[in-house]
């Protein structure tokens, strides 16, 4: 079926707005009707049978994997490595027969990711994939392929596929936790009930659209931007920087907040916007002190946080953008929205081609 913009100016705007709905679809598919237990295939997907998980992807899908590493380690106590497909495939990494290899790809056709999958065939105990296109090569060549239910994604810069990937990866991490006896049924039920509320939370997060439009009109005058995040927010900072450079052509880089003093702090001056993604969580105080180091050097902080974070951070930022507060484990799904909205509105303000950025392809099927 032909997909149109449904009244939106760009496919990207439409796809950002669709996220509550498509995440709801994925949740309906992967949760039982009680809403409190997982409906994931058991055949070929028993995480007790694996000693480690190797995740491989490109681009935004790679950042979904980096996020999932925190979830698998923290929730399931499972050792995880994450790699860029073009590096993994040529490095000749040892893959033990107690390893599950998991490939994440929106298109399911990315050449490097497919080659990495083929490299693992006959080595890994299981080949798993998380894909948006169930008929794709990567899905067909996997032992177990889990679709993400994002629907057709047209915008070259991935948005709804990213949050659907995150949702399915979190469900997988919860399954791993449960298979490995690392999570109690009551705790699982609690996390799942909060996850079921995520579409509604995202609708609230999307109401910040105008705040991001205003923030973007100021950011659009910059040539550079830094993104900082810690813990689960580090991969989101990477994704925020990728989105911004892809569609607005502003040079953007992301660092783990703790790395600030190992290099990027040298770049801070009054011309440098620094986007800090920091909901109030266990690491919040540390990120605030990084933020103060930036402000002490006249860097222009754009703080993206929740109401308690905004309260605690004070009023010295260049801008503070406030999102709904959620369970820390769910923050990546929510903070994808500001990463997308900031990039989108900056690109619109600059007049760049949002849906078809120069030099980029939606699906990279050649090396
Ligand atoms: C291209 C797209 C990105 C995407 C990446 C991986 O670079 O522009 O948006 O994240 O490929 O694509 P995949 O289909 O494997 O997720």
| Model confidence pLDDT, tens digit, residues 40-82 | 988 889 999 999 999 999 999 999 999 999 999 999 999 999 9
Contact 345, 212 (CB under 8 A): yes
Query: Is the distance from the beta carbon of residue 157 to the nearest atom of ligand 1 less than 6 Å?
Result: yes
Quote the ligand 1 centre to 166 CA distance (angstroms).
Answer: 15
pLDDT tens-digit map of 311-323: 998 888 999 999 9
Quote the ligand 1 centre to 306 CA distance (angstroms).
Answer: 30
Q: Which two tokens stand for residue 342?
A: 């900031």
Q: Would the pLDDT of 100 be above 80?
A: yes
> CA 112 to CA 116: how far, in whole Å?
6
Ligand 1 atom nearest residue 60's Cα: 10
Residue 113: pLDDT band with limits 50, 70, 90:
very high
Choose among 22, 4, 11: nearest CA to 357.
11
Contact 71, 169 (CB under 8 A): yes
Chain-centroid distance of CA 228 in Å reads 14
Query: Is the distance from the beta carbon of residue 154 to the nearest atom of ligand 1 less than 6 Å?
Result: no
Q: Would the pLDDT of 330 be above 80?
A: yes
3-state helix, strand, coil in the chain (%, to 5): 50, 15, 35
Residue nearest to atom 8 of ligand 1 (CA): 362
Name beta bridge partners: 227.
Answer: 254, 275
**CB pairs under 8 A, 24+ apart, for 138-145?**
138/103, 138/105, 138/108, 138/109, 138/110, 138/113, 138/114, 139/108, 141/114, 141/117, 142/103, 142/117, 143/44, 144/41, 144/43, 144/44, 144/45
At 1 the pLDDT is 59
pLDDT tens-digit map of 154-183: 988 999 999 999 999 999 999 999 999 999
Query: Is the distance from the beta carbon of residue 64 to the nearest atom of ligand 1 less than 6 Å?
Result: no
Query: Is the distance from the beta carbon of residue 364 to the nearest atom of ligand 1 less than 6 Å?
Result: yes
Q: Would the pLDDT of 129 be above 70?
A: yes
- Sheet with 99-105: list strands edge to edge: 80-84, 52-57, 99-105, 126-131, 144-147
Query: Is the distance from the beta carbon of residue 208 to the nearest atom of ligand 1 less than 6 Å?
Result: no
Name beta bridge partners: 226.
Answer: 253, 274
> CA 301 to CA 318: how far, in whole Å?
5
Tell me the pLDDT of the chain averaged across its residues. Answer: 95
The arithmetic mean of pLDDT across residues 318-329, rounded, is 97
Residue 363: pLDDT band with limits 50, 70, 90:
confident
pTM score, two decimals? 0.97
Residue 222: pLDDT band with limits 50, 70, 90:
very high
List residues with catalytic annotation.
362
The arithmetic mean of pLDDT across residues 326-351, rounded, is 97
Residue nearest to atom 3 of ligand 1 (CA): 59
The arithmetic mean of pLDDT across residues 255-260, rounded, is 95
Query: ∠24-28-29 over CA atoms, to 5°?
Result: 120
């Amino acid at each position: 079926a032909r997909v149109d913009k449904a009244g939106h100016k760009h496919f990207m705007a439409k796809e950002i707005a669709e996220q509550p709905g498509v995440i709801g679809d994925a949740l309906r598919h992967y949760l039982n009707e009680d809403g409190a237990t997982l409906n994931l295939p058991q055949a070929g997907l028993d995480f007790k049978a694996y000693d480690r998980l190797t995740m491989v992807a490109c681009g935004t899908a790679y950042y979904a994997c980096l996020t999932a590493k925190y979830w698998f380690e923290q929730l399931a106590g499972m050792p995880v490595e994450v790699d860029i497909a073009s590096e993994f495939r040529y490095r000749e990494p040892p893959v033990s027969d107690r390893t599950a290899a998991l490939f994440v790809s929106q298109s399911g056709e990315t050449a490097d990711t497919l080659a990495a999958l083929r490299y693992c065939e006959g080595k890994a105990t299981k080949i798993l994939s998380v894909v948006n296109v169930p008929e794709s090569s990567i899905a067909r060549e996997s032992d177990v392929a889990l679709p993400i239910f994002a629907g057709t994604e047209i915008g070259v810069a991935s948005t709804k596929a990213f949050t659907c990937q995150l949702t399915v990866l979190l469900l997988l991490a919860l399954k791993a936790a449960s298979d490995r006896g690392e999570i109690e049924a009551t705790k699982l039920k609690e996390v799942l009930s909060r996850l079921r509320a995520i579409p509604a939370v995202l609708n609230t997060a999307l109401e910040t659209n105008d705040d991001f439009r205003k923030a973007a009109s100021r950011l659009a005058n910059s040539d550079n931007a830094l993104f900082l995040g810690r813990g689960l927010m580090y991969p989101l900072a990477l994704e925020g920087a990728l989105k911004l450079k892809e569609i607005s052509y502003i040079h953007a880089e992301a660092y783990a907040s703790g790395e600030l003093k190992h290099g990027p702090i040298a770049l801070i001056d009054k011309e440098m916007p620094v986007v800090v993604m920091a909901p109030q969580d266990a690491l919040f105080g540390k990120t605030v002190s990084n933020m103060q180091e930036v402000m002490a050097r006249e860097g222009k902080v754009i703080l993206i946080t929740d109401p308690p974070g905004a309260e605690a951070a004070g009023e010295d930022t260049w801008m503070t953008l406030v999102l709904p507060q959620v369970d820390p484990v769910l923050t990546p799904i929510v903070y994808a929205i500001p990463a997308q909205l900031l990039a989108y509105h900056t690109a619109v303000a600059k007049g760049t081609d949002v849906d078809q950025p120069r030099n980029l392809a939606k699906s990279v099927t050649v090396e």
